[in-house]
Amino acid sequence: MAERPEPVEVPIDALSAEALQGVIESFVSREGTDYGEVERTLAEKVADVRRQLERGEARIVFDPETESVNIVPVERRGR
């Protein structure tokens, strides 16, 4: 049985501005994404996620097995 390849972190500066925008827009547009009781515009959601990526609170990962990209929160230890 072949080992499942580990997801690969993609630094935001490794993507062009257009590619980064596309990844973030795809992420915030997914079905089932819940932002609470207050509706937010796509631009607001994109700006929030971009800030989280820039602050290191979230990261972009590529899953080679499914060939998909996701944005995940960074686990903080010791809090």
Tens digit of each residue's pLDDT (9 = 90 or more) over 5-51: 899 999 999 999 999 999 999 999 886 656 567 778 889 999 999 99
Q: What is the span of the domain harbouring residue 17?
A: 8-73
Residue 2 lies in a domain: no
Residue 3 lies in a domain: no
- Give the pTM: 0.81
Residue 79 lies in a domain: no
The H helix count followed by the E strand count for the chain is 2, 3
Residue 53 lies in a domain: yes
According to the model, what pLDDT value does residue 70 have?
95
Question: 56, exposed or middle or buried, with CB in 10 Å at 0-12, 13-18, 19+?
Answer: exposed
What six digits make up the tokens of 46? 């994109």
What six digits make up the tokens of 60? 């972009």
- What CATH number corresponds to the domain at position 43? 1.10.10.610
